[in-house]
Structure 1
Amino acid sequence: MGTEAIQGIAIDLMKVNDMSVDENVFCNLQNLRLLQLNHVKLGGGYDTAIRQVPSTIVKLKNLEDLSLCGCKGSTSTTLASHLRSWFLPPSPTNLLPLSFHGLDRLTTLSLRDCNLSDDALPRDLGSLRSLTNLELGRNSFRSLPASLSNLLRLTSLKLDDNERIETIPDLPRNLDVLQASNCTSLERLPDISLASRMRLLYIANCPKLIEAPGLDKSKSISHIDMQGCYNISNTLKNIIHKGCFPGLVLPGNEIPALFNYKNEGATISFKLPEFDGRILSGINVCIVCSSHLEKKETKRIRINLTNHTKGFTNTFQTVAINLVKSCEDHLWQGHLSNKVFKLGSEDEVELIVFCGNTMIVKKTGVYLVFEQDEAS
């Protein structure tokens, strides 16, 4: 069996320091579909190390999954390598070829922790027409190529731990998940509404973040994690609190003023007003809570809503993703659709929040969402 028959290679040398892989080993692997070289030192000839993945990688026409996580390239400290660097122009990137042209079947590209800086990504990034998953976390970008928005099949974009990134370009319209947590220099997100299918937005611990344009126009987002985003504007806070998001986390130790009903602890009782022709689409439930750090299990929130007027109880349950990693107070907010609870004018209601033993619920609030308010 020749090398042409090989369809997958996976090497992870995270705990190995003295092994390198020669760049020519992949030249004849025309049917290769998966190539994972995580934490691998890419070695060239003459006992030196190259700084770039060989440009011939684009000849792997069947390649679908390329992972170079932890591969930073390396330079030799030998005299020969220093002499060579004097006569050759410096590479514009630490690792990648100048172009991705030819990788038409690539669906997954993982470049986490590759020490990539501005201009390291090829400008034709948007030409990867089959790409669905892109991981660029823990690098040194300040910005990303504008061609990112051309990745029309991209559903998952991971930018976590890019401490220098300040802005993110327009998002691909079919993006489902954006992860940009721990981006400590990030000040502003792109227009979220342009990604009309986005469901999950993770931007925790971005202390300079102020705005998230288009969030009020998004009809698809189900979970938002803004834990540790202490600088978001009051305008953005109001948009969030009035929005019908199934689950979100953001900093805070008080129930927002706009909430109709508030109480200490995990239980709240209230009587609905006369609707006066308005239609109640649902209620937003907000809790002030903190976490037990020693509890590592998945945190779940269960809400029991009892309608004493009509004599029934319904339950709403959600997974509070990443809630809450610190002992500091945060707000969790969720939306309960009235299609399930069928609350009516002047109904007397009791709501109880259960978080098991993983979180402490300190305060609870309820905000009534009417269809007429959503349309305004």
Structure 2
Amino acid sequence: MPEDFDHPNIVAIDLSYSKLTRVWEDSVLLLKKLKFLNLSHSRYLTRSPDLSKTPNLERLMLKDCKNLQEIPALPTNLEILDADECIALEKMPDFSEMSRMKELHLNHSPKLSEILGLDKALNSNSMTSIHMEGCTNLTASFKEAILKGWSARGNGGLFLPGNEIPSWFTPVDPQGEIVLPQSFGCDFKALTVCVIYSSENSQSSGFLRIRVANYTQNTVFLISPMRATVITCHENCIWLGHLSNNKLNVKGGDKINVGVGPATTDDIHVRVKKIGINLEKEKLIREYAQEEGSHKAEHRDDSSHENQSRKRLKSDSSVERNPEEETDEIMQERRSMG
């Protein structure tokens, strides 16, 4: 950008598909009112600009900046960072103070090993989704810290590379029954579900549906909370998220069955390999319906297909069937299990 650029009241800048090697020199521009910056598909950009003087920036789009190696600093007000397909990205800033971050998109950054302070950022309870599929160089200690942080406090979906259910989860047989401990009773706040999935095709995606059948209460709860993405063929990914008991309404002693599979026939490319669950008592988890309402203001770089997917997610986000409508199906399942 030119050195004489002087628009202190500007709130949005779109420089996508530019040939910029740098955006502005550090310490030159003071853009206090800037809220949206789009630098996506800038193939020659190697370093994002100094954003310390954009204190009100809420959305930063860096998608498909193939030569971007470093994001040196981010304003603590930032809510959405989309840096998918930044295949050269190696260095991220410290996230310890990123208390307002809601969505972090870093798909396919194979050189990235960790993000300092990201586990601390989860303590703010504002994060709704983290996408790091295809980040195959992440350290084991980083992944464990994020999985444990999300297990206790997360409100949406966490996506990481991996092929094992974390050790603190209970593996689930999709054809079996689980008897919930009586001790959970009214203290049971959420069911944390962990899914390992993959695909035989590269660049595959599809919605997965979680189904919780309560054989004790003769109810079935369905939700399609996530769009699963696979970057490369046969890559294994982890999804982790919470189902609030305000919707599930399960009690200690209930017999339940938990299954995960494609939401529709259009989503069959993604294959579920393992399922695990964990029962949360410590903290009331906000429901998906509330979180999805906050996505109405989301500004993503690619629109047509993504918006269609979000409509499907919202319309399919939380369905609880009438017990009479499900009794026959549940009884048939129980007979099939012997």
Give the letter for the 1:158 counterpart. Answer: M
Is the contact made by 1:290 and 1:326 (CA closer than 8 Å) also made in structure 2?
no
Give distance in 2, aligned partners of 1:237 and 1:220: 19
Give the match for residue 83 of structure 2. 180
Q: In 2 relative to 1, CA 307–183 (structure 1 residues): closer, same or farther, beyond 3 Å?
A: same
Give the match for residue 59 of structure 2. 156
Q: In 2 relative to 1, CA 366–141 (structure 1 residues): closer, same or farther, beyond 3 Å?
A: same
Q: In 2 relative to 1, CA 295–111 (structure 1 residues): closer, same or farther, beyond 3 Å?
A: closer
Give the match for residue 48 of structure 2. 144
What RMSD over aligned residues (CA atoms) do the two structures have, in Å? 3.0
Give distance in 2, aligned partners of 1:112 and 1:334: 32
Is the contact made by 1:224 and 1:247 (CA closer than 8 Å) also made in structure 2?
yes
**In the TM superposition, what whole-angstrom CA distance separates every residue of 1:327-353 from its partner, at most 9, and x where no partner exists?**
323222221122322333333221121
Q: Which structure's residues are more often helix, by fraction?
A: 2
Q: In 2 relative to 1, CA 262–277 (structure 1 residues): closer, same or farther, beyond 3 Å?
A: closer
User: Which stretches in structure 2 are left out of the alignment for 5+ residues?
Assistant: 286-338
Taking the TM superposition and a 5 Å limit, the aligned residue runs for 1:60-139 are 96-101=1-6, 103-118=7-22, 120-124=23-27, 127-137=30-40, 138-139=42-43
Give the match for residue 365 of structure 1. 276
**In the TM superposition, what whole-angstrom CA distance separates every residue of 1:216-260 from its partner, at most 9, and x where no partner exists?**
332112122111011112222223323124223222223222212
Q: Which range moves more in the overlay, 326-335 or 120-129?
A: 120-129
Give the match for residue 336 of structure 1. 243
Q: Secondary structure of 1:299's match? A: strand
Give the match for residue 69 of structure 1. none
Give distance in 2, aligned partners of 1:299 and 1:171: 31
Note the C-alpha offset of 1:371: 0.4
User: Which stretches in structure 1 are left out of the alignment for 5+ residues?
Assistant: 1-95
Give distance in 2, aligned partners of 1:295 and 1:185: 18
Give the match for residue 221 of structure 1. 127
Note the C-alpha offset of 1:156: 1.3
Note the C-alpha offset of 1:144: 3.2
Give yes or no for the alignment of 1:254 onto 2:175.
Answer: no
When the two structures are aligned, how many residues end up with a matched partner?
272
Q: In 2 relative to 1, CA 284–125 (structure 1 residues): closer, same or farther, beyond 3 Å?
A: farther
Is the contact made by 1:157 and 1:177 (CA closer than 8 Å) also made in structure 2?
yes
The structure having more radius of gyration, on CA atoms, is: 1
Q: TM-score, normalised by structure 1?
A: 0.63
**In the TM superposition, what whole-angstrom CA distance separates every residue of 1:103-155 from its partner, at most 9, and x where no partner exists?**
1232221223333235x513356512222211223343443343x03323322
Q: Secondary structure of 1:236's match? A: helix
Is the contact made by 1:174 and 1:195 (CA closer than 8 Å) also made in structure 2?
yes
Note the C-alpha offset of 1:162: 2.9
Note the C-alpha offset of 1:178: 0.4
Give distance in 1, aligned partners of 2:218 and 2:26: 62
Is the contact made by 1:302 and 1:318 (CA closer than 8 Å) also made in structure 2?
yes
